[in-house]
Structures are given as C-alpha cells and as structure tokens.
Amino acid sequence: MKVLQAIVHDYVQTREPVGSRTIAERHGFDVSSATIRNDMAALEEVGLIHQPHTSAGRVPTDRGYRTFVDSISQVKPLSTAEKRAIETWLEGAADLDDVVMRASRLLAQLTKQVAVVQYPIRRRSAVRHIELVPISAHHTFLIVIADSGAVEQRNLDVSLTDEQATDISSRLNAVFVNRAAHEISEDALGDVAPAERGPLGAIVAVLKDIMTDEAEERIVMAGTANLARTDIDFAHTITPVLEALEEQVVLLRLFAELTGDLAITIGSENNDEGLSETSVVTSSYGSSGTARLGIVGPTRMDYPVAMVSVRAVARYLTRILGS
C-alpha cells in the first residue's frame, strides 16, 4: 500500500511514470530497489498499476486510484487563513445566484479543476418566510424565502391594505413555514371568510407554484479552462469531456446517483462515456442535503486536496444558506 501511495503521489505531481529507484530515493523506504520492484510487480498483477510504454516506470490504473482513495483515512485540513478566506468570500454574496457563482469560482481556484455547483433543489425544500407587500391599489408583492436560501418575488393582481397584508402574512407563516410544496394547499388554512377566498386562493396557488418550480434543477460551472492545462492526461482530446460538461443533464443525473457527505467516482466508474477518463469528487450541501457540488478533472488529480476543498466549501455554503 505504501508503494502504491508513493506511485500515485509522484505521478500526480510529475505526470511521469514512476520507477522503483525513484520511489526508493524520494520516499526513504528502508528496503532495496529490488524489493520495491517486487511490490510493483505484485501491484501490476492485481491491476492497480500498469506500464504505459517500454520505460521502467508505472502509473496508477482506475482501480489503483480507487484503492488509494479508499485508503485515505485522514486529509490535511485547510489552514486557518484558507478557512477565513472561504468564509469571507462566500459571505460577501448578495443573493443565492451570487453565492452559487462564488462557490463555483472558489472551488475551481482551490482545486485547479472544473467546479460544478448544483442549485438547491427547491421542490425538496421548505418555506422559511412569507411576506406580502402592497405596492399599488390593485397589486401586491409576494416574497417567499425558502430554507435553501432562495428568494422569490411575484407581482400578484391582488388588492390588499397594509393591515390585511400583515394579517395574511402572519396566517400564511403560521401554517406554511417548514412545509414543502406537496404540503401547501388552501385547505390547510382551515375556515376562510368568503371575502378572503379569492385573494387567499390566488396567493396560495402562487406560493405552491414557487415551491414546486423546477427551474433550480440546474448547475453552475467554473474553471473549464483548467481542462486545457490537463489535456495531456486524456487519451485523445478533451472534447468528450467538454461535451459531457455542456450537457447539464449528464451531471445532474450523476449527482442524483451519488449519496453521502463525500462521494468520488473514478474513470470507468462514471457511466457516461464522456466522463470515462475523469474523476468526480462531490459533497452534499444545504439543510436538506439534496444538492451537491464538486469538481471534475482527470483521474490524475490530487485527491486529498480535492476532498478537503470540496467538503470545506460544501460546509461553508450550508452554513451561509442556513443563516
């Protein structure tokens, strides 16, 4: 395992096949190069490394990277300065769109890979606050804040006084806060005066529409140019990877298949052919943990850095959206 870890580390850093002599010199193994060669032969026999050409060096296979990743029990945490920089950068966001964009740019910068951030899935989130604001004699603003941090405003053809708007806002909040889209209906309000049925019915219908809106089933990407820096890591061209990234449904489908706080798929583990030479490192975020963010890059990536960066940005994003 130590020899495999050394091969992965050196190959990620140098992009050059790693030989037994190099391992002995760089990593201070108290054994001969011959012993290391025997270990490398054993690793090759079980498919964890392979020889790309006639040189004496070896490189990890997808199975080798997987074994390496599964062996990581602890990663070096971000420094205090890095944590503070992440928090400051994300807290400076003006709204949900801004914070998602900032998170993607930050993740791309930290990992030097393509960053992908999925918007919070509103149809799975719940209402945090409702506010009605009369803006004219015949129009009222409906403002809805979801627990994902999303804020929506709709202009309603509803006539309300300031007093009526305050009263109805309080009633709506008392009934619908912490409720998801499928729990929102006019019947939940109980007995309603005949004069209020029209306005309340219109307001509740728009509220339900907002919370079931699937427009947030989308992603934001940053750092696509980083692929150009690593194009040598792909067998032919980076075109299949770019095409897969452009098809947002591919990434959304992949994200939907992943579970847990941190998930990593490597090379052939990715079902889409365009991602078959990439690794995807993702983490869930948000109060309900239904949205994900992560990075996409060549299998030859710094996995410990990717893991700690993805997890850190996810945790800070969860904290900011929940505040």
> What domains lie within the chain, and their CATH numbers?
2-70 (1.10.10.10), 80-121+217-322 (3.30.450.40), 124-212 (3.30.390.60)
d(CA 38, CA 270): 32
Asked if residue 213 has pLDDT above 80, the reply is: no
Express each pLDDT in 142-182 by its tens digit. Answer: 999 988 777 889 999 999 999 999 999 999 999 999 998 88
* 249: number of Cβ within 10 Å: 10
- Compute the average pLDDT of residues 206-213: 85
* pLDDT tens-digit readout, 6-49: 999 999 999 999 999 889 888 888 888 889 999 999 999 999 99
Query: Rounded mean pLDDT of 59-74?
Result: 94
What average pLDDT does this structure show over 268-273?
90
The pLDDT assigned to 70 comes to: 94
Residue 309 has pLDDT above 70, yes or no: yes
For the stretch 88-102, pLDDT in tens is 999 888 888 899 999
Q: Is-contact 120 286, C-beta < 8 A?
A: yes
Q: What pLDDT is stored for residue 215 in this prediction?
A: 45
Whole-angstrom distance, CA of residue 187 vs CA of residue 185: 5
Residue 287: pLDDT above 80?
no
pLDDT value of position 195: 74
Look at residue 296 in the predicted model and tell me its pLDDT.
95
Q: What is the pTM of this model?
A: 0.74
Q: Can you read off the two tokens belonging to residue 103?
A: 């998170």
The beta strand positions in the chain, using DSSP E, are 49-50, 59-60, 114-118, 127-134, 140-146, 151-156, 219-222, 262-266, 278-285, 291-298
Residue of 247, 301, 309 whose CA lies nearest to 278: 301
- Percentage of residues in the chain having pLDDT higher than 90: 52
pLDDT at 323: 61
